[in-house]
């Protein structure tokens, strides 16, 4: 089976407050999404890269024009949805012609520019003969508190066995499509697969693969991408 990358990049990035979609925020000299595209494009494990952007996206054409070496490795799908889940599903429908049912799809957030080829390889290698698929994730290190209504601690949640989900999330084309077509709303692909009664594998990710969400995340992402952290 082949491995395809599918990158949902159709969000508006409201929490970042940049005035434009966060996937285009410049980090270490280029838009965040380009870091992700270049990493997947340079991975020998990945057959092709698909990027899902909003139908009204006015940034991607210029961004890609600056990286001509990616032409032929990346296909842009102008069909984002109202949610990340819908954007991924639209992408899966769009690649129906290219992807076989048993081919793997690695779904990765455009907002995780710290991904490396080594992390892609680690996930692909760990799931090579896996019947279900899996995700990169990190064991939780902080002590966890559940908040009550008045922002006081209701109780402490044991972090034993808890992992924080990252991406890529890697599943076979047919299974992933069936899982995401279920009506339940999910915030990642694994949850949809879990809802089918399956147990995706957890593969250790990296702190550098964190999701850029809030303004202070930008400086940290730059440290990782410039090789300082
Ligand atoms: O908003 P959040 O950080 O969860 O977004 C994760 C990824 O999903 C981002 O790459 C974002 O562009 C993408 N997304 C999308 N379509 C949406 C919402 C988010 O492709 N409607």
Domain count along the chain? 1
Which residues surround ligand 1 with Cβ inside 6 Å?
8-11, 23, 52, 80-84, 87, 109-111, 211, 213
- What confidence tens digit (pLDDT) does each residue in 135-152 have? 999 999 999 999 999 999
Q: How far does residue 82's CA lie from ligand 1's centre (Å)?
A: 9
Secondary structure letter of residue 211 according to DSSP: -
Question: Residue 8, exposed/middle/buried by CB under 10 A (0-12, 13-18, 19+)?
Answer: buried
- DSSP structure string for 127-194: TTT-SS-EEEEEE--S-EEEE-TTS-EEEEEP-TT-EEEEEEEEEEHHHHHHHHTSSS--SSHHHHHH
Q: How far does residue 61's CA lie from ligand 1's centre (Å)?
A: 19
Question: Residue 176, exposed/middle/buried by CB under 10 A (0-12, 13-18, 19+)?
Answer: buried
Q: How far does residue 54's CA lie from ligand 1's centre (Å)?
A: 11
**Best of 6, 7, 11 for a ligand 1 pocket test (most atoms within 8 Å of beta carbon):** 11
Q: What is the pTM of this model?
A: 0.96
CATH code: domain of residue 190 = 3.90.550.10
**Can you give the residue range of the structural domain that contains 149?**
3-225
- What confidence tens digit (pLDDT) does each residue in 6-32 have? 999 998 877 777 778 889 999 999 999
Judge if ipTM > 0.95. Answer: yes
């Amino acid at each position: 089976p082949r491995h395809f990358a599918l990158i949902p990049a159709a969000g508006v990035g409201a929490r970042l407050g940049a005035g434009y979609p966060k996937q285009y925020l410049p980090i270490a000299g280029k838009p965040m999404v380009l870091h992700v595209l270049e990493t997947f494009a340079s991975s020998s494990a990945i057959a092709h890269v698909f990027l899902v952007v909003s139908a009204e996206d006015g940034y991607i054409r210029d961004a890609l024009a600056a990286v001509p070496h990616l032409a032929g490795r990346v296909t842009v799908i102008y069909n984002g949805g109202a949610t990340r889940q819908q954007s991924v599903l639209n992408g899966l429908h769009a690649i129906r012609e290219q992807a076989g049912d048993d081919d793997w799809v690695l779904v990765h957030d455009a907002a995780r520019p710290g991904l490396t080829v080594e992390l892609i390889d680690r996930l692909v290698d760990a799931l090579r003969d896996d019947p279900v698929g899996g995700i990169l994730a990190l064991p939780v290190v902080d002590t966890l508190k559940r908040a009550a209504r008045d922002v006081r601690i209701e109780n402490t949640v044991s972090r034993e066995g808890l992992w924080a989900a990252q991406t890529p999330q890697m599943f076979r084309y047919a299974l992933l499509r069936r899982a995401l077509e279920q009506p339940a709303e999910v915030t990642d692909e694994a949850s949809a697969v879990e809802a089918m009664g399956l147990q995706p594998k957890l593969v250790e990710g990296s702190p550098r693969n964190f999701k850029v969400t809030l303004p202070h995340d930008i400086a940290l992402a730059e440290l990782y991408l410039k090789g300082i952290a």
